[in-house]
Amino acid sequence: MPSGHSGGGHSSGGHFSGGSFSRSSSGHFGGSSHSSSGHFGSSHGSFSSGVRPYRPHRPWYGPRVVVFGGRQVYLSSGRASTVSILGVLIAIAIIVSVFLGVSWGNIEETLSVQRDEYSYFRRIAQDADGNSAYQIVGTVTSIKEYKLSDRWCINYEFTLSNGLKNDGYSYFVYSYEEAKQMLDNVTVILASDTKNTMINDVTETVPLDYKDMEFEADEEYVANLDSRNSMRTGTFIMAGVAVLLVLAYVVTNATAKKATAEQIAENNNATANTQTASTPAGTWRCEYCNAVNDNSKDRCDGCGAQRQK
């Protein structure tokens, strides 16, 4: 196929690595991120500036009051946990949808490049058909299978006008029997974009029989097509899952009962109640580690922090 030069104004769908189609995306051949900083410098040192006091929080599954649809609703423990889980699942579904969508787009671009490439080489073969001035004899040097697909390509070489050798390779369009026969026969008729009396190292070549080949004859193109279809299906499925999860999230919140004044007050004071109700008389609670200390002490037994007045 290509003769080992770069450039040429044509794009590669990834079939070649050393050929003229140098914007290949998948090669046909290899050649051809907690550290924590403490509040204190020592066990009884002064605490760091900017450290925020420890505030105990209700668990993620605890009952709470939220604003939804312009009204305050009360979520029981079970409903609150459902809402939290749905939120996580929605985020995951969206991320997966985006990933699959990007992959779908990338493969679609590769397929477009391959179609352009295949059309270009087919024109070379069709133009050379019946015009011996654009036909040259190549020597088949080896054959290779595409990922256990039972579709094979041939590697070949041909002689330039200056007597030097150049190489090329076909698409994965042959059965094993066809490729083996070509290897046994040694020679193969090539179509080129240059007259056979002026063959040089930028000459494009392709087996002449490619004039009758279709895109789907190449197993590499078919594999990319299958991947594109899988990614597209996966994107639609995950997008649908995300929509269903969002609907479940909305219904779970929308069907919650309107919060009473008592529930709203309890929700607003939940953190403060947690801190003060459990502090025994005659003690003080450390603002930093939440440890309970006797009133006679000026420093926390738990972390050594100075008592805040």
Domain ranges (residues) in the chain: 276-309
Listed as own residue / partner, the contacts of 257-261 with beta carbons closer than 8 Å and 24 or more positions apart are 257/73, 257/74, 258/71, 258/72, 258/73, 258/74, 259/65, 259/72, 259/73, 259/74, 260/74
* Token pair belonging to 79: 């409903």
Kindly give the residue spans of alpha helices, DSSP state H, lying in 186-218. Answer: none
The whole-chain average pLDDT of the chain stands at 80
SS3 263: helix
* Token pair belonging to 274: 């947690």
Residue 53 is classified by DSSP as P
For tokens 């779970």, what's the residue?
252
Say if residues 124 and 194 touch (Cβ distance below 8 Å): no
- pLDDT of 58 reads 53
SS3 48: coil
Q: Sorting pLDDT into bands at 50, 70 and 90, what band is 288? A: low
Tell me if the pTM is above 0.75.
no
- Rounded CA separation 219/63 (Å): 58
- pLDDT of 24 reads 36
Say if residues 54 and 63 touch (Cβ distance below 8 Å): no
The model's pLDDT over 102-135, given as tens digits with 9 standing for 90+, comes to 999 999 999 999 999 999 999 999 999 989 999 9
SS3 154: strand
Nearest Cα neighbor of 68 from 55, 56, 83, 89 is: 83
Q: Which of 4-8, 274-278, 293-297 has the highest mean pLDDT?
A: 293-297
Residue 14 is classified by DSSP as S
